[in-house]
Structure 1
């Protein structure tokens, strides 16, 4: 579950009479239950690829298969189902509803999916425990730190138990220590819950937890290596190293 095969993906955005080519024939395979880190300069196409995998955008050409289903062939209604059932998205700026409590934010995707009250209460309690936020369930976003909001964001992404988690710069707004805690949580999702995790990031520490690190430049994949190979080449201060989770 959670296998992703991207084949010859091209994405062109048209603005008036001009065209911007965001992706130029990308090919990659992401094994189920693995962590892929996508790196590269700003504007290189990382988030565009993430949006296509998540069904938030359609490619101009090519195919994107998830567990054997080509998203290109899906109707708009089926893409909505894909987003609700198959994918959870973690945002850099948390994307929580400010008027809802932590628990209510987690339950919102379940409510949209038609879950009953008993299911929502049980699963939101489990997810609050998973992200170590049980005492904060009744707190609203403005009563939580950035790291706490990101934990709730991850719990919200997990609400409907999707096999795939997509994260766009999930540590970008966090301090070093809090970022390490979030990276540990992604490790746990892979190791204990067998989730496929795709992370767009500038954070070089990701090489310590990723199975594969892929670099995109100008819409093309310029390198693919294991997380261990990337970490050997990366320069990460000792105080920013990610220790093994206890």
Structure 2
């Protein structure tokens, strides 16, 4: 098992888990089980078999059945997002077992420790109830407002950018004007908000909160309204 040794809160990270059957028997009922800490959110598994290995469907508890004939191998991928408020060590574990075959391998489990530090800019949000917007005709849809809060972790932050993903066709509500710069409005599924050239800095212990109303094509498209892959960075370029 391999993965990042260091990361920052809010990062999307991935791990590789390699399994193989060196014999002497086939292992048709091998199961890879992954245990993730609470600080790793939205974990997902993928699998690619080689030399005859066949990956099954992921079961509850991040259990992945794999048929491993003798001499075959499989590469299992684990992805997830570190919670934006997590700081410390993430220990992610994996193991392979079989109900009918004795595992005589020298290594049948592994773990990766990832040390996580807070980013220069922390971010969180509060979602408010939405409403249907009927005018103007070119901006009809379903509006959900969000209060984004940026916090400086350690030192003053002068310039920043905020990123998050939304359903394609969603936009920062165009019926309003904003003191920050809407660098990407979300139409392609990606939103980028940038601090103005001379705007409020973020002081340690004094978070900055501002409202961003998002215009979804419909309430159905809005779904649960969650902002995906939300993150913020300090901008150091001129």
- Which protein shows a greater Rg? 2
TM-score normalised by L of structure 1: 0.26
Looking at secondary structure, tell me which structure has more strand per residue: 2
TM-score normalised by L of structure 2: 0.27
